[in-house]
Amino acid sequence: MSSSEEIKPLCKTSVSNEVVVRFDNVTKTYNLYKNDRGRFLGIFNYNKKGAFLGSVDANKSLSFEIKKGEAVAFLGCNGAGKSTALKMVTGVTHPTSGIVDVKGRVSALLELTAGFDMQLTGRENISLRGQILGLKRSDIKEMEPSIIEFAELGLYIDQPMRTYSSGMKARLGFAFAVAIEPEILVVDEALSVGDRAFQKKCIERIREIMTDENVTVLFVTHASSSAKEFCSRGIVLDQGTKVFDGGIDEATAYYESNF
């Protein structure tokens, strides 16, 4: 997602010493198999001859701490391990070894449509997603109108989601993710939601959340300009390992000169 040029930078620094995200010597290893059958058998440690092809350390001995209110950019080339690290923050995946400690309500603007049941209506999916997150029914009901309004789905909100276009599904996913008032916001810049007008609205909403000094932001990007615009600190990853961690200007300079 690209930001519009007329908007001023909103870099913010940490407001607190409280650590809300901690990675302690984290390694995430993916095993690669010849086919899905091999992968399935691998779960039970039964490796049919030739099915196991090898393994990849998507994150290797990764350690860092992020304080409440910080906005941190994760920089690195394709395959550097940025998404894997953030998936562990959101709980979508878990470390093979090491500790990932996250304190606070996490909202991820990553895979917006994952987890929706396409047979249910948009309204029913709001309720389902809220319940999965452990929200009270009354809180879900209270959030519902603002989600529906933001997603701009009109009458489709009561239609099964299988009848939605992919943009409509993503809009509902985005509207839900920003409605839960996240304490930790995980954003992938590659995220694209809906048409141009809706993208602009999303960027404005992300900026609004980011400026909240109590919200911690983890931002994946390849673009130094948007990293500088949104973040005060940068962590550069290369082949799963942290190769730089520091001020955003130094981090982007390191990234640009080394990759």
Ligand X SMILES: Nc1ncnc2c1ncn2[C@@H]1O[C@H](COP(=O)(O)OP(=O)(O)OP(=O)(O)O)[C@@H](O)[C@H]1O
Q: Which residues contact 149 (CB under 8 A, 6 or more apart)?
A: none
The least CB distance from residue 230 to ligand X, in Å, is 17
One residue of 13, 16, 18, 30 binding ligand X per CB under 6 A: 30
- Report the C-alpha gap between 185 and 206 in whole angstroms: 9
Q: Under the criterion CB under 6 A, does residue 46 sit at the interface with ligand X? A: no
One residue of 10, 11, 56, 120 binding ligand X per CB under 6 A: 56
Q: Which is nearer to ligand X, 39 or 200 (CB)?
A: 39
Q: Which is nearer to ligand X, 10 or 56 (CB)?
A: 56
Question: 37: part of which helix (H) or strand (E)?
Answer: helix 36-43
| Per-residue contact flags (x/-) with ligand X for residues 74 to 113, judged by CB under 6 A | --x-xxxxxxx-----------------------------
The least CB distance from residue 64 to ligand X, in Å, is 15
Q: Under the criterion CB under 6 A, does residue 224 sit at the interface with ligand X? A: no
Q: Which is nearer to ligand X, 119 or 225 (CB)?
A: 225
- Report the C-alpha gap between 255 and 51 in whole angstroms: 37
Return the SS3 of 56.
strand
Q: Which is nearer to ligand X, 32 or 118 (CB)?
A: 32
Any long-range contacts for 200-208 (C-beta under 8 Å, 24+ apart)?
200/4, 201/150, 202/1, 202/174, 203/1, 203/3, 203/4, 205/150, 205/178, 206/1, 206/109, 206/178, 207/3, 207/7, 207/10
Residues found near ligand X in the complex (CB under 6 A): 30, 32, 56, 58, 76, 78-84
